[in-house]
Amino acid sequence: GPKLAELARVPFNTRLLADLLTVGIAPEQLRSLASQVQLLEMYWNERVRPLGLPAEQCLGSTVRAMIDHGRMEATRIAAGADTGNALDFLLQRGVLISANGDREVAFRHHVLFDYVASRTVVVLADTAKMDTLFKRSGASLLLAPALSFALQHLWEISGRGRDRFWQAI
Interval 23-68: pLDDT, tens? 899 999 998 898 999 999 999 999 999 999 999 999 999 999 999 8
Tell me what pLDDT residue 106 has: 97
Q: Give residue 6's pLDDT band: very low, low, confident or very high (50, 70, 90).
A: very high
41 contacts 160 by C-beta, under 8 angstroms: no
Rounded average pLDDT over 151-162: 87
Tell me what pLDDT residue 166 has: 87
Q: Return the closest-CA partner of residue 57 out of 120, 110, 112.
A: 120
**DSSP assignments along 31-73, one per residue:** TT--SHHHHHHHHHHHHTGGG-HHHHHHHHHHHHHHHHHTSS-
Please tell me the number of Cα atoms within 13 Å of 64 on its side-chain side: 16
- What's phi and psi for 97, nearest 5 deg? -130, 155
Asked if the model's pLDDT at residue 137 lies above 90, the reply is no
Which pTM value belongs to this model?
A: 0.90
